[in-house]
Structure 1
Amino acid sequence: METTNEFNGHAVSDCPVPTSKIPNKDDPKTFFAKFALFFKRNLMVILTVSGVLAGVGLGMLVRNTNLTLAQKTYFAFPGEMLLRMLKMIIIPLVVCSLISGAASLDTRSLGKLGGIAVSYFLVTTLIASAIGVALAFIIKPGVGAGALNSNNLGLETVSADKETTDSFLDLARNLFPANLVAAAFRSYATDYKMIAVGNQTNGTLIYEKVPVGMETDGMNILGLVLFAMVFGVALRKLGAEGEELIRFFNAFNEATMVLVSWIMWYVPIGIMFLVGSKIVEMENLVLLVTSLGKYIFASVLGHVIHGGIVLPLIYFGFTRKNPFSFLAGLITPFTTAFATCSSSATLPSMIKCVEENNGVDKRISRFILPIGATVNMDGAAIFQCVAAVFIAQLNNIELNAGQIFTILVTATASSVGAAGIPAGGVITIAIILEAIGLPTNDLSLMLAVDWIVDRTTTVVNVEGDALGAGILHHINEQGLKRHRQQDEELAEVRVEAFANLQAEEETSPLVTRQNQGGDVSPGAKEDSVAIESAL
């Protein structure tokens, strides 16, 4: 027998109707229509990948024309414009998204999610460092490469005489910038000055190297991130008084994302010229690849293992979902990362794709991704560890267990301070080399092939950020489900208690006699309540 329900005033059958029989006007019917729909949904991905391929072809063609240095600069101009546009919106995007994200999350959940995020970043970076060290000892890229010399490859030497202690102190100083406006384009760095501190017996002056603070060009993104997080929490604490400012930053954030969506349409053109100009600038490519081939192979293999196996397994372990279907929605930011070699420049497209393609909560993505782009450098940790072991093998230095442990810890810690810009991780290798007492004059070898390794490095960096956002979104969703279930159980308990009370009132003979008299005076009602409570 068929029963009916009322829905919006109409009788509706309770029998389920097969959804496959319901025609959907949006469903494509022909192969051409299906292809057109697929092309429309994945247009940005197709254009971005096509830009990389076109850039390779264009670079190979222009390379044979023997351009002058000035002409190479002009050729790279469209790619430079893309980088400038992406860097232009980094500060408003990071600051506004972190303020609105920290202000929208509850203080308790903020602390919980922040703790999970920091643990995730530290554990994954430590695993990445271990993979880099293990591969360097297995592949031995520096063994037998003692003939490598900076002069043979036509490279400039790199001066990196910074003390390890001062590097970490600079990291702490940059967390608390003295001037927020200056932090947008300058960061703190330690330099050294030789100061006379006395005379020897023969009259010779005694000099001492003294650290002196100075401001260097480059955005202090770490200080801006910390300030934005704390400021967002402070606005949340204000309550109603801070609501207007929170709405302002939310609106600013949404407007910035609109700008990002506009810039994304220029990405394929910019990427084409970025890749093409790099190919045109290459000199002695065959010599570099053959000389440093094992180093390049070890670094790229580490990125493939970490990005293709370790990170997806961690994501699957937390969410029990297919990690590759999650990553499939992020092809555009991965391609942007490959072309720009900058985690910070990839941040705008990453936030957009994570929210639109993978459905991550805006409060989660806009809080975690800017932090990850600053402190989570899994790819950098891998190639820094490979480079440290490579230079040790190059100089025929045997590393002991203590030095290996120092490499792991220092690479994990120094990757936090690595700038999210092209070649940002090479300078932090000097910190590791200083920590284990290795010479830093071979760093120029790293710079020679950094433009190759840095591409896979940046892809792994942004992949770790994206999967971390997905994990936190899943944990947050699970927490919300548990709260809903608890609320439903409490509601059921309340309903049952209310029903039992009604039943007792109906079956109690004393209460029945009190109610039989029709209208009762307030005094009589109070007496009846007193009798009930006493009984």
Structure 2
Amino acid sequence: MCDKIIINCGAKEKMNSIERQNQTTKHKTKLKLCGKRVKKNDLLTILTLTGVFLGIVFGITLRYANPSDNAKMLIAFPGEILLRILKMLVIPFISVSIITGVAELIRNNNGRVGLHIIIYYISTTICAVLIGIAMAWAIKPGLQNATQAVGKNSVTTTKNLGYSALDTVLDLIRNLFPRNLIEAWFRLDVTTATFVTVEQKNVSQNATTKLVKTLTSTDGSNALGLITFCVMLGITLGRRKSTKTQVVSQFFNELFDLFMDVIISIMWFAPIGICSLIAGNLLQVDNMMYTLTTLGLYIVTTFVGAFIHLVSVLPLIYWVVTRKNPYKVYAGCLQAVLTMIGTTSSAATLPTTLRCAEENLGINKRFTRVMLPLGATINMDGTALLQGIVAITIAQMNGVTLTAGQVITICLTGSLASAGAAAIPGSGLVVALFVIQSVGLPAEGLGFFYAVDWMLERLRGIINILGDVIGVCVIAHLNREDTLPSETELLDVDRN
């Protein structure tokens, strides 16, 4: 009797392993389908580059024609529509992406391996955002001429003498848990401090001023609150194994695919919108040299940040854990890097990345077949690096002095929202739109970054895939004794 119970328990455990493996296979299939779809990106890349080129030519040429304000508005109108469409979709898209990504991460791994994966993903992503913020502060790509703000929608800030560091921390914690989830889409809580004149009852005494702090709701999406809800829901979906919960998970997966199709469809309109954005912004700029200098320093800032992350952060993590030469891992991934340069998509590069990790580096398939598909979806170090650089640069271009709370918000939203970025070209600046909205910065300046994004996108993709491979090497080393079900066990159960 006991033997039967033990056998049944073992069979049940193996069946659970098969279920986890099937979920992983479905996830990989979805990414492969995404890879097939992004094969059209060769044409899309050409059209985008054409849009960038025409936008620059039209913008510079039309400046000599001295167009009227109405003409400038009409030229920039298609770009305005593109930004409005992206703003409309970015919050639901990021929300669904985080829910599905977190649920998949929890579902496909046991506790120890899952914890190691989460720690690695979070730590490297936060490091990437912090490097981006630090490089933007050090190089200051947007501060060459702060009075030459891009476009007309520059932002001004006033100094709040009564606002303290404690208020910053408390506001961050409050916004992590919004009172109303629907309101969090377009409102966030902020502590305001004002000096109120208090009249004294005794007429012989002078009136005094009193500092009064109130919690108010202001315009802007509460990105932290939305991400908190999505992470909680994703964790819960990943833990529950009931049939009804699987239906809910399937609903979010299908919704994610629908949003992917919508985003890809919109990207075919992007060349026209990008041309309009660049031309319209060039017509608004008074100092062309400032614009060129800003773009040049933006490129330098991105390359320096990428160099630090690839040469220092990731190799240091690998060496500390394994005590081995990390640059041999990079050498083994050369084919994946070259594929990334051609496809500009982590999803499309996934088959090559798997082959490099398994054949060149000898990593067990039990780890590569789980971590690399997940990493191509939610581990976006290159995208996270972009968030810090773009947010600080736009703030500098518009003469905005960010508070400590806003910088922390950029770090947190940039880290978490990058996990929701699609593994397709053009998704990095879509996520950047979400991040800069969370701190109230204008989105119009993004048009300039599209002019060079086609080049920097490949650099960010290289960071993404090398971060994934370093991660799978680290996790495989930490859990080399145990963990995920072997292929032999799965085959034995299938035969029985």
Q: TM-score range by the shorter chain?
A: 0.5 to 0.7
- The question of whether the paired residues in 2 share the 8 Å contact of 1:100 and 1:246 is answered with yes
* Distance change (3 Å), C-alpha of 1:255 and 1:55: same
**Counterpart Cα distance in 1 of 2:461 and 2:180:** 28
Change (3 A) 1:461 1:128: farther
Work out which of the residue numbers 116, 121, 124 in structure 2 matches 1:120.
124
Q: Deviations over 1:60-117 (max 9, x none)?
A: 2222232222222221111122222222222232122211222222363443322112
What amino acid does structure 2 have at the position aligned with 1:413? I
Distance change >3 Å, CA 489–CA 426, structure 1 → 2: closer
Partner of 2:261: 258
- The answer as to whether partners of 2:98 and 2:231 remain within 8 angstroms in 1 is yes
**2:225 corresponds to which of 223, 226, 230:** 223
Q: Given the superposition, is the C-alpha separation of residues 297 and 468 from structure 1 closer, same or farther in structure 2, using an over 3 Å criterion?
A: closer
Distance 1:490 1:358 in 2: 24
Q: SS at the partner of 2:91? A: helix
Cα gap change, 1:167/1:413 in structure 2, threshold over 3 Å: closer, same or farther?
same
Structure 2 match to 1:89: 89
Q: How does 1:6-405 map to 2 (within 5 A)?
A: 42-106=42-106, 108=111, 109-131=113-135, 135=139, 158-162=156-160, 163=163, 165=165, 166-196=167-197, 199=200, 202-240=204-242, 241-286=244-289, 288=290, 300-307=299-306, 309-313=307-311, 317=326, 319-320=329-330, 321-322=333-334, 324-325=337-338, 327-329=340-342, 331=344, 353-359=345-351, 363-369=374-380, 377-380=387-390, 383=393
3-state SS of paired residue (2:195)? strand
Q: Using a 3 Å threshold, how does the CA distance of structure 1 residues 329 and 358 change in structure 2: closer, same or farther?
A: farther
| Residue 411 (structure 2) aligns with | 416
Query: How far, CA to CA, are the matches of 1:123 and 1:176 in structure 2?
Result: 25
Matched, 1:475 2:475: no
Q: Identify if the C-alpha distance between structure 1 residues 233 and 447 changes in structure 2 by more than 3 Å, giving closer, same or farther.
A: closer
In structure 1, C-alpha distance between the alignment counterparts of 2:450 and 2:204, rounded to whole Å: 53
Gaps of 5+ in 1: 1-38, 332-352, 393-406, 431-445, 495-535
Instruction: Tell me the TM-score normalized by structure 1.
Output: 0.58
Matched-pair contact (CA < 8 Å) for 2:382–2:459: no
Aligned to 1:346: none
SS in 1 for 2:65: coil
CA contact (8 A) 1:379 1:456 kept: no
CA contact under 8 A between 1:329 and 1:358: conserved in structure 2?
A: no
Q: Give the AA of the match of 1:186.
A: R
Counterpart CA distance in 1 for 2:225 and 2:405 is 21
SS in 2 for 1:189: strand
CA 85–412 in structure 1, closer or farther in 2 if over 3 Å, else same: closer
The answer to whether the 8 Å contact 1:192/1:212 transfers is yes
Aligned counterparts of 1:456 and 1:168: Cα–Cα separation in 2: 36
SS of 1:180 mapped into structure 2: coil
Q: Counterparts of 2:90 and 2:434 in 1: how far apart (Å)?
A: 18
Residues 275/457 of structure 1: CA separation in 2 closer, same or farther (3 Å cut): closer
Q: Matches of 1:486 and 1:170 in 2, distance apart? A: 41
Q: Could you tell which deviates more after superposition, 101-110 or 314-323?
A: 314-323
CA distance in 2, matches of 1:300, 1:204: 58
SS of the equivalent of 2:213 reads strand
Letter in 2 for 1:303: T
- Whether the aligned pair in 1 keeps the contact of 2:191 and 2:213 (CA below 8 Å) is yes
Partners of 1:181 and 1:155 lie apart in 2 by 27
Contact 2:129–2:387 (CA under 8 A) maintained in structure 1: yes
Mapped contact 2:174–2:189 kept (Cα < 8 A): yes
Q: Is the 8 A contact 1:59 1:276 kept in 2?
A: yes
- Output the amino acid matched with 1:265: W
Distance in 2, matches of 1:417 and 1:272, equals: 32
Q: Deviations over 1:467-512 (max 9, x none)?
A: 3465236634875795899966997xx9xxxxxxxxxxxxxxxxxx
SS in 2 for 1:191: strand
**Once the 2 structures are TM-superposed, how far is the Cα of residue 228 of structure 1 from its aligned partner?**
0.7
C-alpha distance in 2, partners of 1:40/1:427?
32
Using the TM superposition, give the Cα deviation of residue 266 of structure 1 relative to its aligned residue in structure 2, in angstroms: 1.2
- Could you tell me which amino acid in structure 2 is paired with residue 160 of structure 1? T
Q: What is the CA distance between 1:242 and its match in structure 2?
A: 1.3
CA distance in 2, matches of 1:367, 1:169: 29
Query: Deviation of residue 121 (structure 1)?
Result: 2.5
Provide the aligned C-alpha RMSD in A: 5.1
SS for the counterpart of 1:193 is strand
* Cα 1:171/1:68, change in 2 over 3 Å: farther
Query: Aligned partners of 1:174 and 1:459: how far apart in 2?
Result: 36
* TM-superposed deviation, 1:426: 11
Q: 1:232 to 1:132 in 2, by over 3 A?
A: closer
Q: Percent identity?
A: 21
Contact persistence 1:354–1:365 (CA under 8 A) = yes
The residue number in structure 1 matching 2:361 is none
State TM-score, norm by structure 2: 0.62
Query: Matched residues in 2 for 1:461 and 1:160: separation?
Result: 36
Partner residue of 1:347? none
1:391 Cα deviation from its structure 2 partner: 11
- Residues 1:325 and 1:187: Cα distance change in structure 2 (over 3 Å): farther
Deviation per residue, 1:406-441 (Å, 9 max, x gap): x9x9897353267865697699799xxxxxxxxxxx
- Which residue does 1:29 correspond to in 2? none
Measure how far apart 1:243 and its partner are. Answer: 1.1
* Letter in structure 2 aligned against 1:191: T
Counterpart secondary structure, 1:179: coil
Q: How many residues get paired?
A: 390
CA contact (8 A) 2:274 2:447 kept: no
> Secondary structure of 1:104's partner?
helix
